[in-house]
Every structure is written in structure tokens, then in C-alpha cells.
Structure 1
Amino acid sequence: MPRHDALKRSVPAQGGDDRIPMKLIGSIIAVGSLAFVGILTETVMTVLFPELMREFNVNTSTVQWITTIYLLVVAATMPLSSYLSRRFTFRALFLAAVALAVVGSLIMIVSHQFALILLARVVQGVGSGVATPLMMNIILEQSPRSKVGRLMGVGSLVITVAPAIGPTVGGAISSVLPWRAIFVIVIPIVLLLSLPVGLACIRQSHPTQEARLEPLQFIAIVLALGGLIFSLNQSGVAVGSAVSGDGSSAVRPAMLGVAALCIGVGSLLFFGWSSKRSFSPLIRLGWLHDRVVRLHLLPYLLLPIVGIGFGYVITNVAQMSLGTSAFLAGVLVLPGALIGAFFAPIGGMLYDRFGPVRPILGALGVATIGPILLLAFSMHLTPVTLAGFYFIFGLGYSLGYSNIMTNALSRIDRVFTPDGNAVFQTSLQFGGAVGTALFSTLLGVAQAGAGAEGSATFRRATAVGGAWTFATMTIICVICLVSLIAAFRTAGGHGAQVARD
């Protein structure tokens, strides 16, 4: 399908008026700020793990569930966004996300039991899982045709910047205030900015439908995503235990990891099978028959492994290999995050002006240089070079990442846009969870048996683990480039065939 015709079907015509409506800008600000706060708290908590372990008297494998359960809930909620978009109005979904964000923050503020903290993270995860796809659906449905790329770039700020600055924000706030102050700050932002602006600006662009929720499909996708992420988590625990010489402790997590993997894969296959046979599937998957769309979906899944995983890798390599403080380690991600805030909309503008090929491939080519340089200098890094090479990756990533989804969704019928958005957003969350699990495992394996933290051998082992992670990042980036080159060649060949016909 030619890109022009597909884009024409995906984005509503504006009668020749390409101005961006003020109410659309207000809607993006309202829902975007809500989604930003949700994603920000996801990575803020990782810096607070040592403090939380002391307060609640839990170990590392237990405290990490504060992040893992949040990611599981977000990943499980996002597939519902297609059904929710068809069944409920944008305003109703927005108000639900606001209520969940506030209630979750209140529970975090008053709770002094670890189980209640996990409950709060579940509530917040549902809110974030509703808000982020809602923002993208509003942009895709209501943007002027010639501005969809830049507005998707603005929307991607939420996705790329919030996880990047989370460690910095968490380190800064926790250094001067109790960690609960983070959630005290969240509530006024939601109630005084997001809520009033959203009520004034959010409008409905399509009628609701009598869509039905298929319980078995929802359970299947929850088990699939939860099983795969839990499998990665337990596999990392097992490998770390085995490498450290404690083989007996590795048996149980290894068995749990294999069982979770079987459940995850089996549930995913069942979900795909049942979706084809359902009258009203949870997510309509027919649009995935387009090979070009699938070749876009792969890098959209893989790149967050690198993009979100960088937040973990930089802060840990900086502290455990270079000997920086937690605050400085968090600050090192700021340059890359700030460049993302500036260049994501510019990447969308380049897409609108030049089409998808050069803006996407050029940006990802630049992004790939970052991990290549980090790999080349991995044993001789300084805080400045660590931040500088990440800056290069952040520049390319912010310029190109959101355009991948924009271009993929431009090829499918507008009626299936919520389904495509749900799959792409779920892939992003899953990729981010994979990145943290994968890179923490690589660092843990390298550090096993290397002596006490802070010793010269431990620092060198961490640097070696960093080299492994940077090599993995480079491979992922290259795979993404190859996939997108194949997508554009396929799309070009299809367009030529249509012209001959």
C-alpha cells in the first residue's frame, strides 16, 4: 500500500486546514502530563531500592517487585486500550486514569507495609496503562495530516524522557526529602494541571461501540506478558546464583523461569488463535498480515531494550565501576534525556517533510554509534565519556523512535489504529522490562565472585559486564536497522508493483 494513501486513511482529513487546534494541544498536555508522571515514577523507584530495603527489611530480589509488578500491570493493561477506546469516551478514560493516579499516590504516601506499597504500584500501573495509549490515540485520530509526525514526536517525549530522567529526579529528591515526597508532588500536578486542562480540551472524535470484553483473551494476554517477564526475572536470578557458585539456590528460580516461559508462550499462542476466531477480539490482529508493519514492530519492540535499559546500565556502571555517587550517576543520564526532549518533535517534523526513510534510518544510524563507542572505550570510560556517548545514542533515538510507529500505523486502516497502538505500546513496555532484566543479569554474571563492592577487582568486573551490555546494545541496534531497511525495500517494491498494475 503506498504510504500516501495509507496515511490518508489513518489520519482524518482536515478540509485543507493544517493548523493544530488549541484543544488538541491542551488534550496532549493533559493526558501527556498524566502519562509522564506515571512513567517517571516507574524509574524513580529504582534509585530508592537501598533505602526501601532498609525501611521494609526486604532483600534485593523482593524489593525489585516494586518495579516489576508495575511493569507487569502496565503491560497487561495496554492491550485493553483498543477495547476501551471503542467502548468508552476519551474523557471517561482520562478521568479514570486521573483517579487511579491520585489513589495510587495516596496509598504510597500513607503505607508503611510492603504489601500495600505493591498494591499502590498496581493501581498506578493500571492508570499509566490507560493514559499512555490514550494520548497516542488522541494524536493519531485528531492531528492534521501534515502535522501527525511532529505531534507523535511530542507524544514520544513521555516515552523517552520520563524513564531517562527518573533516576536523576529520584536521587535529587531523596537526597533532601523523604522518598514519599515524590508522590506528594505528583498529586498537585495531576489535580491542578492534568485534570482541569483535560476537562476543558479533550473531545471525542469517534462514536463509541458496543464492544465486548473477551475474558479468556484478557487472561491469556496477562498470563503471556506476565509469564515472559517473570521468566526473564527468574532466569536472571538463577544465572546469578549459578555463576556465584551457589548452584542449589539456582534450581528453584530456574524451574520457575522455565515454567513461566512455557505459560507465557502458550498463552500468547492461545491469544493469537482465539483472536482469529472471535467476533469481537480484545485486539484485532488482521493488520499484522502486512510484512512491512511487522518489520516496523520488531525494532519498536527491541529499541526500548536499549533505550530504557540505558538508565539502569549507566547509573550502575557509574557507581560500581567508576565510583561516582548515586546523585552524580543519575545526573549522567540528563544530557541524553534533555536532547531527547528537544529533538523528538524535530524528528517528527523531518518525517512530515521528507517521509520516513531518511529520518528513520539516519536517526537510528546515529543512535547505533553510541553503544559502539561505549563498547570501544568500555574499559577506559570516565563519567564524561559515559554521559557523552549516551548523549549520541539519545540524539538518534529521540529523532527516530516515534517515527517508527507513526510510519507503521500509517499503513493500516484508521479503524484499526487503536489496535495497532495497543500492540506497539505494549511492545514498548515489554521491551523496557526485558532491557532491565537482561542487562542486570549481564552485570550480575560479570560481578559474581569478583570480591567486595568497591574493590579493584569488583570495579573491573563491572566494567567487563558493561562491555557485554554495550556489545548487546550494538547488536540490537544493528538488527533494528536491518529490519527497517528490509521494511522500506519491501514497501518500495510493493509501491512499484501497484504503479505497474
Structure 2
Amino acid sequence: MSLFNDAQLTNKQIVMTVVLVAGAFISVLNQTIVSPALPGIMSELGVDVSMAQWLITIFTLVMAIMIPVTAFLLDRFSLRSLFISAMALFAAGSLLLAWGPTFSVLILGRVLQAISSGMLSPMIMSILMWIFPLGFRGRAMGLYSLVIAFAPAIGPTYSGVIVDLFSWHFVFLSIAPLAVIAAFVAFFTIEDFVERRNVVLDKLSLILSTFGLISLLYGCSIIGSAGGLSPESIATIAAGLLILTWFGIRQLNLKEPMLELRVLKNRNFLSAVFIIMLFQAAILVLSVILPIYIQTIRGYSATITGLVFLPGAAFMAITSMFSGRLFDRHGPRRPVLLGATALMISFLGLVIIDTGSPIWLIFVIYIVLSTGIGLLNTPVSTWALNSLDDKEIHHGSAVLNTLRQTAGAIGTAILVTVMSIEISAYPDPDSIAANMAGFNATSVCMAVLMIVVFVAAFFLIRDKEKTGV
């Protein structure tokens, strides 16, 4: 409560913050509960693995489409109506998934959930920045980061327990009431902070962003699934990049763009986005290569993999709050450089491990890595949005989240390709030695990216508050 008291928030604003954080928790938790339910879904509905994976793929694609649209929605509609709508869509999608008589119904449910999650991420970040005074925004974003770090840690475990005790239907049924409660409380607590504008949605912009993001992210997912480049993935990614370039040029020439890309003219914001994109490009592939090392190369169980990730998530959550406090007191430079250093050390650790490395070393490396994420992510994101005028924050949040997700997808695709090339160079690509070589090669690339992040942070980030270019 000290954060709320120090920031001199009203009781209504405190409840509003709790509701927003709860909405973020529900949204992020939902992203990690599907995988343990997939075997039961496949068995009951008679679908194969490639078909079942669409429950994850379609969510990612639709969520990416909604993030840039949310900036327009925040200009046009009230915060209360948008948040309640997002929670209502989430509850409806969850109930469809709980019912789930056919796979098509499940897909529809995931689409509704993805629309909700795509709206919530930039919306909640923007509202928290509007609620909290300038000197408390780091801790506010730290609280948000704590929640989005904690939710994925418990999601798979929670889902697995529910599936074992009941069935996969109850996994989705159990989270629907949480969204309903959040929507009910939001009706009485959420208020507007920015003036509504009677803007008109540019339909061509919506079409371009939709097809551009779908093409780019789907092409990247093809690389991830196939384990390397293919003519289909190259063509799809190239088409996506061309369409998104057209989208960007159009936004810069519209008087009232769907997504205000002119925020990138702000030097501090642009610097922060550059650092976050490099960081995200390296980090996201960890969810692919670490399980390969632990399970495929070392032969440990999926349970051990989960145990490796669990303490890291706890450290990430704690250091997110700590880095937010450091940001409010000293500015972004100290926590960001500490985080970048921890990330460099941890990735270099991944470079030197081999088939005989003790499992406790992997625990330690991942804890250091997660600590680095917590120290870096919160201050950079807060610094980025702090550099903008309050009227630009929602557009800045949408731009930041869109580019973060795009960079993660592209980075994962590139790094998976590096791993695939290294593995294919061996006479026996399925051998442990080949997989180990691919893992180390990918780790080298991630370490290089983190060195670039450190250098960029060292030269670009300063503690002086700047709100202009």
C-alpha cells in the first residue's frame, strides 16, 4: 500500500489499479494454460498436433492485429467501455472453449480471447501511466511487470492440475468468472484520463496492418515449425514486410492515423524501442532452445524443465518491482545497465555449457538471466512512455508493444534458422552432438545481441528526464 499512499492515489484510483492489474494477470495467465490441455483436446476432438497448435498460433496472430488498433480505440471510446468490452470478450471466449463441442468452436473462443488480450496490453500500460504521477511510474510499471512475470509461472502448473483432476473443459471454465468479476468492478471504478476524439478509422490502414502482421508473423511461425527457411516462409515474410512498409508510410501521411508513428521522432522513445526490440529478439527464443537442451540433449523430463523456469520467474517478478523503484529514484540508466550485464553473463554461460554441465548450473544461469530481464525491461518501457506527452502515451504503448512482438517473432525465426543450419551441418542431425552445436551457436548469437543491447544502453540512456526530441 505504500506505493499507493506515496503516490497520493484516491481510493477509487487504488481499486482501479487493482482491477487493471487483475485484468493483466487473467490475460497473461490465459496465454500459458493451453499447452497442457492440448493432449486432451486432441484425444476428445480427434485432431492431430499440427491442427491443435492452431489454438496457439491463431491467438498470437489475432493479438498482434489488435495491438495497433487499440490506439485508435483509446482515442475514440471511453476507457471503461473498452476495458469492460475486453473482459466480456474474454469471458465469452473462455465459455466457448469450456463448451468446446467442435474444434471450430475452440478456434472462435481463442479468437475472442486474443482480441481481448490484444486490447488489454497497451490499454493497461497507458492507464497506469495516466494514473500515477511522474515520480511513481517506475514502481507502477514494476507492479505490472511482476504480474505478467508471475502469471506464466503458475499457468502451466495450474492447467495441468485442473486437467488431471477434472478435464480440459474446466481449465477454461475456471477463468471465465474472473473476467466477469473484473468487468463488474471496472464499471464502478474506471474513469477517463484523456479527452475523447471523434476520429474516423482509416479502413485501408486497418487492412494493411492486419495482412502485414499476419503475413510476417505467420512466415516466422513457419520457420519455427520447420526448423529453418523455406520458399514459403521467405515469400510470406517478404510480403509482410512490404505491406507493413506501405502501412508505415501511410500513417506518416495521414492527418489522423490509426497508429501515430510520429512518436518515433522522439529520440528517447526511439532509443528505448531500439533496445527493447534487440532484447526481445534474443529473449523469446529461450522458450524454444532451453527445453531442447534440458529434454532432448540432457534427457531430463518436462517436469525438470518446468522447475528450471519456475525460480527464474520468481526472480524476474521481484527484480521488476526493484528496478521500478530504482527508476523512480535514479532514472533508467543504473537498472538497465545492471540488467544488460546480467543478461550478457547468463548468455555467455549458455555458450560454454555442454552435455556434461551439472543441472544446478542451468538453474543458476536461468535465475541470473531472469534477474536481468526484470532489471532491464521495466525501466526501459517506463522511460520510453515517460518521454512522451500524456496525449501520446496510448499510441506510444501500441507502437512499443507491436514492435516488441514483431521483433520477438523475427528474432526467433532467425535464431531457429541459425540452430537448424548448424545442426544440418552434422552427418547425423539427430545426434546429441549436432543438437548441442546448434544450441551453442544460437547462444553465441543471443550473447552478441545482448552485448549490442549493453552498448546501446550505455550510450543512449541518460537519467535526465526528457520529454521532447
Alignment of 1:404-415 (within 5 A): 404-415=380-391
Percent sequence identity is 28
State the AA in 2 paired with 1:403.
P
Displacement, 1:134?
1.4
Q: Which amino acid aligns with 2:249?
A: W
1:229 maps to 217
Instruction: Indicate the SS of the match to 2:175.
Output: helix
User: 2:117 maps to which residue?
Assistant: 128
Counterpart contact for 2:213–2:240, Cα < 8 Å = yes
Cα deviation code 1:83-136 (max 9, x no counterpart): 111111111011111111111111111114323222221111000011111111
One-letter amino acid matched to 1:309: V
Indicate the residue corresponding to 1:376 in structure 2: 352
- In the alignment, is the contact (CA less than 8 A) between 2:215 and 2:237 conserved in 1? yes
Aligned residues: 464
Q: Using the alignment, how far apart are the partners of 2:431 and 2:392 within structure 1?
A: 51
Gap change, CA 1:446 and 1:417, over 3 Å in 2: same
Aligned pairs for 1:49-88 within 5 A: 49-88=38-77
Match of 2:234 among 258, 263, 274: 258
Aligned to 2:334: 358
Q: Name the residue aligned to 2:79.
A: 90
Relative distance call for 1:119 and 1:135 in structure 2 (3 A) is: same
Cα deviation for residue 386 of structure 1 reads: 1.9
Match of 1:277 among 227, 244, 253: 253
Partners of 1:339 and 1:390 lie apart in 2 by 10
Which residue of structure 2 aligns with residue 214 of structure 1? 202
Contact 1:102 1:190 survives alignment (8 Å): yes
Identify unmatched segments of 5+ residues in structure 2. none
Tell me the distance in 2 between the aligned counterparts of 1:471 and 1:225. 29
| CA offset digits 1:180-232 (Å, max 9, x no partner) | 3221221122223x234323321211221101111111111112211111111
Offset at residue 476 of structure 1 (A): 2.2
Establish whether residue 474 from structure 1 lines up as the match of residue 447 from structure 2. yes
| Amino acid aligned to 1:206 | V
User: Structure 1 residues 320 and 179, CA, compared in 2 at 3 Å: closer, same or farther?
Assistant: farther
- Assess if the C-alpha contact under 8 Å between 1:168 and 1:331 holds in 2: no
Residues 288 and 482 of structure 1, relative CA distance in 2, 3 Å threshold: same
How much has 1:140 moved relative to structure 2? 0.9
Q: How far apart in 1 are the matches of 2:380 and 2:258?
A: 24
Give, in whole Å, the separation in 2 of the partners of 1:317 and 1:333: 13
Q: What does residue range 107-118 of structure 1 map to in structure 2 within 5 Å?
A: 107-118=96-107
Instruction: Give the stretch that moved more between structures: 387-396 or 325-334.
Output: 325-334
TM-score, length-normalised on structure 1? Answer: 0.84
The change in CA–CA distance for 1:331 and 1:239 in structure 2 (over 3 A counts) is closer
Distance 2:423 2:415 in 1: 12
Flag the 1:427–1:47 CA change in 2: closer, same or farther, 3 A: farther
Distance 2:120 2:200 in 1: 21
Indicate yes or no: 2:270 matched with 1:322: no
The Cα shift of 1:464 comes to: 3.1
User: How far does residue 151 in structure 1 lie from its aligned partner after superposition?
Assistant: 0.3
Pair 1:278–1:380, CA change in 2 (3 A): same
1:175: Cα distance to partner? 4.2
Counterpart residue identity of residue 393, structure 2 = T
Q: Specify the alignment match of 2:23 in structure 1.
A: 34
Match of 2:279 in 1: 303
User: Within 1, Cα distance between the matches of 2:34 and 2:291?
Assistant: 13
Do residues 150 (structure 1) and 126 (structure 2) align? no
Is the alpha carbon distance of 1:143 and 1:442 closer, same or farther for their aligned partners in structure 2, counting shifts above 3 Å? same
Q: Call closer, same or farther: CA 1:220–1:432 in 2, change over 3 Å.
A: same
Q: CA RMSD in A?
A: 3.0
TM-score by length of 2: 0.89
User: Structure 1 CA distance, aligned partners of 2:186 and 2:160?
Assistant: 30
How many Å separate the matches in 2 of 1:64 and 1:444? 21
> Quick one: distance in 1 between partners of 2:368 and 2:191?
38
- Determine if contact 1:31/1:132 at 8 Å carries over to the other structure: no
- Residues 91, 343 of structure 1: CA spacing in aligned structure 2 closer, same or farther, 3 A cutoff? same
- 2:315–2:367 Cα contact (<8 Å) kept: yes
Q: Aligned to 2:269, which of 281, 293, 297? A: 293
Q: How does 1:341-356 map to 2 (within 5 A)?
A: 341-356=317-332
The 8 Å contact of residues 101 and 127 in structure 1, kept in 2 or not, is answered as yes
Cα distance, 1:380 vs. partner? 2.9
Counterpart CA distance in 2 for 1:50 and 1:469 is 30
Q: Look up the match of 1:398.
A: 374
* Contact persistence 2:98–2:172 (CA under 8 A): yes
Structure 1: gaps of 5 or more residues = 1-13, 241-252
- CA displacement at 1:332 relative to structure 2: 1.8
CA distance in 1, matches of 2:148, 2:399: 15
Please say if residues 79 and 423 of structure 1, whose CA atoms lie closer than 8 Å, have aligned partners that are also in contact: yes
1:53–1:463: structure 2 CA closer, same or farther, 3 Å change rule?
Answer: farther
How many angstroms apart in 2 are the aligned matches of 1:381 and 1:62? 37
**Residues 295 and 486, structure 1, Cα contact 8 Å, conserved in 2:** no
Shift in CA distance, 64/278, structure 1 to aligned 2, threshold 3 Å: same
Corresponding residue SS for 2:9: coil
* AA in 1 matched with 2:138: G
Q: Structure 2 matches for 1:412-451, cutoff 5 A?
A: 412-434=388-410, 437=413
SS of corresponding position for 2:298 = coil
CA distance 1:142–1:444, change in 2 (3 Å): same
Q: Give me the whole-angstrom Cα distance separating, in 2, the residues matched to 1:118 and 1:441.
A: 29
CA distance in 1, matches of 2:46, 2:423: 24
